[in-house]
Chains A and B, each alone.
Chain A
Amino acid sequence: MIKIPIRVMIVDDEEDFVEMLSLRLEEVGERMTKAYNGMQCLNLLEEKDHDVVILDIKMPGMDGIETLREIKKRFPLVEVIMLTGHGTTETAVEGMKLGAYDYLMKPADFEELQEKLHGARQKKEEQEERIRKAEARLLLRKSGDI
């Protein structure tokens, strides 16, 4: 079976972390975009479609929660996995209430991260599928009217 790469964006101010995780995920076949702050993340999302954003909660400037709000407002279908180095799950939970798919504690387990990435992508695809069907029904109804 041919693997369809997940289009992942990783957002973290720890550049080394971003670099290594991207290399590793690319190695298992995902397509990676790197961003080092919230602003850059939003700009890159604007430029290109993505499936999942891995988002660090604690960042200087625009923090993870703020970035998440913006993502969900402007790109509601993009799924977000929060990364917390905090150990404070409250923020992660708040993130999930704002629409994040799930969260992981740093340092995260790679297998777990992959599972969550696939879960997130699947959720997004199902949603897109429903939208396509709804659109089709809409189209059908419209043409039926004629």
Chain B
Amino acid sequence: MDEIRLLLVDDEISFLNPIAKRLKKRGYIAELATSGEEALSALEKRAADVVVLDVKMPGMNGIETLQQIKSKYPDTEVILLTGQASTQDGVEGIKSGAFDYLTKPIELEHLIGKIRQAYDKILHKEEKRKEAEFRSRLEQQMIATERLASLGTLATGVAHEINNPLAIIKESAGYMALLLTKKEMADFSHRKQFELAIGKIETAIERARRITHKLLGFVKKNESVFSEVNLRELIDETVQLVYREAANKDIEIVHNTGDQPFVIRSDPYQLRQVLINLLTNAIHATGSMGNITLSLEAANGMVVLTVKDTGVGIPRENLEKIFEPFFSTKSPGQGTGLGLFVTHNIIKKLGGTIDVESTVGKGTTFKIRLPEYYEMKPGISETDQENWFAKLKMNL
């Protein structure tokens, strides 16, 4: 039986005690109070679900107490007890928010029935509140997903448009650099400065190009190559690629992947990109002597891949933004702000989900859930592999 938190309030202790005793026999534990003031201070110490309240009391009367209870604890239900001659009080009480009223002398069965009804109302309200909360959370999630999608469309549109002027700048700078190497220019007094400036232009072009290409990299429609992927091997191979970077910072990469091969049907190249993104982020976030733990688990048709670091962590206010394009906490030129955006998109495309948990100062955990078997429309293969390798080179 549910433990209903019950408070009985009546100025006549001789009335309270026997009822409390009989209620206890039936399994209802009640606290007692002999005045409105006492009832309020009791509620302050311990909240109640249902309050059974006598209307006629010296000092603060029942109606007043009821109003105070309802204003302070709107979720608490109150059952009023009225004298036979004063049922008008009960009606008054219901108007002020009481659940119902009972006329003295009361029958125990009657009282218990009312208490149960009041408690059911509370449960019902709670259920509704949870449902509303769930719905609003779902809506928020949908809004976030849609926003990501539209941001992505916008970002790729911008990337398309930027590429053309970028090509013009690049050719112009390249042409100037070429002219500077000519014999006639040997005596040109500002040659060094020109070379320096052109060098800066070229570096900046390269930076912009990296961004646009990364952005355009995942808009391609049919690019996935599905095959059997042994996740354990994939992890081992990928760790090899970032191993040096981790070793330089004295970061230990721990494999918690067991001996069992975790074979799923998915896109190995895209998964590797995801892993590289997560591992590089983890390495950047983790200080020396820290560690990064990779683990694999299987759970009803899904495989869970976890990348956990002991790094600086992500502040709460940033957690919602990390999957947005161009969100980066690295200094300009260090990160494109696209790694996790791309990662999120890939995982979504592969039928999986990605979650993040983080505590500032303790570390961050990324959890990827992937279906063991997932089929997508067949697409082109080799060129995308080439692309992927080009991207990989860029990332390293």
Do A and B belong to a common assembly?
A: yes
Residue on A nearest B220 in the bound complex, by CB: A88
Number of residues on chain A facing chain B (CB within 8 A): 22
Q: Let me know if A130 is at the binding interface, CB within 8 A.
A: no
Would you call A27 and B175 a contact (CB within 8 A)? yes
Residue on A nearest B156 in the bound complex, by CB: A87
**Hey, what's the 0/1 contact readout for A69-99 against B, CB within 8 Å counting as 1?**
0000000000000000111111011000000
Would you call A16 and B160 a contact (CB within 8 A)? no
Q: Is the interface of B mostly helix, strand, loop or mixed?
A: helix
Would you call A20 and B387 a contact (CB within 8 A)? no
Would you call A20 and B383 a contact (CB within 8 A)? no
Instruction: Assess A20 versus B160: contact at CB under 8 Å? Given A27-B175, A90-B221.
Output: no
Q: Let me know if A21 is at the binding interface, CB within 8 A.
A: yes
Q: Which of B163, B178, B219 has a CB less than 8 Å from the CB of A27?
A: B178
Q: How far is the CA of A87 from the CA of B160 in the complex (A)?
A: 8
CB-CB under 8 A from A14, the residues of chain B are 164, 167-168
Would you call B175 and A85 a contact (CB within 8 A)? no
Q: Let me know if A105 is at the binding interface, CB within 8 A.
A: yes
Q: Which of A1-52 contact B (CB under 8 A)?
A: 14, 16-17, 20-21, 23-24, 27-28
Q: How far is the CA of A5 from the CA of B166 in the complex (A)?
A: 27
Instruction: Assess A86 versus B175: contact at CB under 8 Å? Given A16-B168, A17-B167.
Output: no
**Hey, what's the 0/1 contact readout for B360-396 against A, CB within 8 Å counting as 1?**
0000000000000000000010011001000000000
Q: How far is the CA of A28 from the CA of B159 in the complex (A)?
A: 30
CB-CB under 8 A from B209, the residues of chain A are 107
Would you call B163 and A90 a contact (CB within 8 A)? no
Q: Which of B219-248 contact A (CB under 8 A)?
A: 219-222
Would you call A107 and B220 a contact (CB within 8 A)? no
Q: How far is the CA of A92 from the CA of B217 in the complex (A)?
A: 14
Would you call A20 and B216 a contact (CB within 8 A)? no
Q: Let me know if B123 is at the binding interface, CB within 8 A.
A: no
Would you call A93 and B383 a contact (CB within 8 A)? yes
**Hey, what's the 0/1 contact readout for B286-310 against A, CB within 8 Å counting as 1?**
0000000000000000000000000
Instruction: Assess A87 versus B213: contact at CB under 8 Å? Given A17-B167, A107-B166.
Output: yes
Min CB distance B153 to A, Å, is 14
Q: What would 25 A/B residue contacts be, using CB atoms closer than 8 Å?
A: A14-B167, A17-B164, A17-B168, A20-B172, A27-B178, A85-B163, A86-B160, A86-B216, A87-B159, A87-B160, A87-B163, A87-B219, A87-B220, A89-B220, A89-B387, A90-B222, A105-B213, A106-B164, A106-B166, A106-B167, A107-B163, A107-B167, A107-B169, A107-B205, A108-B167
Interface residues of A (CB under 8 A from B): 14, 16-17, 20-21, 23-24, 27-28, 85-90, 92-93, 105-108, 110
